[in-house]
């Protein structure tokens, strides 16, 4: 029988994973806004995010997609 | 009445954030049996620690040092004059080597700090630096930093409560832990959409205030233009692998909704069309 919570974990995990892969800078900004000054990284007038942070978030995104896929497989 | 548009937007976003916070507070009061006073105290402590820690970490992470008046008397004089005109206390002026032209403000009205990078002072002319300083002082006067800390505080509290709500209603198996983390992150993102929307508008307001103080938007527009032109030159030298990784980011869609700053071109256009 399909476990609704496991299926939800799969869907939302895939969704968050996709966001991490497609817009890593946005994910970093969500975590750092208000904790570090906005516009602190990169050039003045931008809210750029360092490349190493983007790559870290994208790596997390791969993990989230893999975990989401696994839970999807288990639920279905 | 100053900044009518900002006040109206703040009323809307503030109400939405309050609604998110109220739901989270009610859940905590119901599930953990906390009295309202304890919920409020914990929230204030949480946001207060974030504010203090954020300020300390920001200065530490860029290696900011106090800029002695003897080293840069002209810059100090300009900040003092702008602060007087803007009716705020002169903020602490610090300098850091950030590798790129940059400046940022932290703290609040009466206890603000402005950090400028050595690269910014080398790149910009005197009046352009003044434009940047006026913009940062406007952030302090308009309490933009405090607003951002409060917004992040509400988003974090709501996210933590959402995580616990998932954990406490599940079987505590591995899928539940995963679901709790994901729900927390997505909830925080949802709340931050509203915080970012007002943050972008506040950038325009700070630009407009800076232009009012200087009598023209041209110095700040030129500063932004000069810096973004320099940045484009540097970006073209970034290796193709890094460029491929960044291809979707900071360009439209979700990335622009989750941005703290509006596009530089739009800011320049607005500054020049005043």
Min Cα–Cα distance to chain B from A66, Å: 12
Per the annotation, the verdict on B136 as an active-site residue is: yes
Active-site entry in B128, B136, B203, B213: B136
The string of pLDDT tens digits covering residues B220-271 is 999 999 888 766 655 544 443 333 333 344 556 777 888 888 888 999 999 9
Q: What is the nearest CA distance from B271 to chain A, expressed in angstroms? A: 13
Smallest CA–CA distance from B53 into chain A, residue? A35
Residue B157 token pair: 């509290």
* A39-67: b (≥16 Cβ within 10 Å) or e: bbbbbbbbbbbebebbeebbebbeebbeb
Tell me what ipTM this predicted complex has.
Answer: 0.89
Question: Minimal Cα distance from B224: which residue of A?
Answer: A45
Residues A19-35 pLDDT 10s: 999 999 999 999 988 87
Residue B127, token pair as written in the block = 């009046």
Is the pLDDT confidence value at B214 over 50?
A: yes
Which tokens sit at B149? Answer: 């800390």
pLDDT at residue number B41: 95
- Residues of chain A with Cβ-Cβ distance to B228 below 8 Å are 43, 45-46
């Amino acid at each position: 029988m399909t476990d609704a919570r496991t299926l939800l974990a799969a869907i939302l995990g895939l969704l968050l994973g996709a966001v991490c892969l497609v817009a890593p800078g946005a994910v970093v900004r969500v975590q750092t806004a208000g904790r570090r000054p906005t516009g602190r990284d990169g050039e003045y007038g931008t809210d750029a995010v360092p490349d190493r942070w983007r790559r870290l978030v994208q790596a997390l995104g791969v993990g989230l997609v893999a975990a989401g896929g696994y839970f999807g497989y288990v639920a279905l | 009445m100053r900044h009518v548009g900002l006040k109206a937007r703040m009323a809307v976003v503030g109400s939405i954030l309050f609604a998110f916070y109220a739901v989270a507070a009610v859940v905590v009061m119901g599930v953990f049996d906390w009295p309202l006073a304890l919920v409020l105290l914990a929230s204030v402590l949480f946001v207060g620690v974030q504010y203090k820690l954020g300020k300390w970490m920001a200065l530490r992470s860029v290696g900011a040092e106090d800029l002695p008046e003897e080293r840069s008397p002209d810059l100090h004089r300009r900040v003092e004059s702008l602060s007087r005109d803007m009716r705020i206390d002169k903020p602490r002026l610090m300098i850091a080597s950030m590798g790129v032209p940059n400046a940022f403000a932290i703290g609040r009205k009466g206890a603000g700090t402005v950090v400028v990078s050595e690269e910014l002072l080398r790149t910009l002319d005197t009046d352009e630096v003044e434009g940047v300083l006026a913009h940062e002082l406007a952030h302090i006067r308009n309490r933009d930093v405090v607003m951002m800390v409060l917004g992040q505080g509400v988003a974090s509290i709501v996210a933590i409560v959402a995580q616990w709500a998932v954990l406490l209603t599940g079987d505590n198996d591995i899928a539940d832990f995963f679901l709790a983390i994901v729900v927390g992150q997505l909830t925080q993102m949802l709340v931050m959409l509203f915080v970012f929307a007002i943050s972008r508008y506040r950038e325009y307001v700070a630009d407009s205030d800076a232009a009012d103080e200087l009598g023209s938007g041209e110095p700040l527009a030129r500063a932004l233009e000069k810096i973004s032109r320099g940045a484009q030159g540097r970006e073209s030298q970034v290796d193709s692998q890094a460029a491929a990784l960044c291809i979707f980011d900071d360009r439209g869609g979700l990335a622009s909704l989750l941005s703290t700053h509006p596009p530089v071109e739009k800011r320049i256009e607005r500054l020049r069309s005043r």
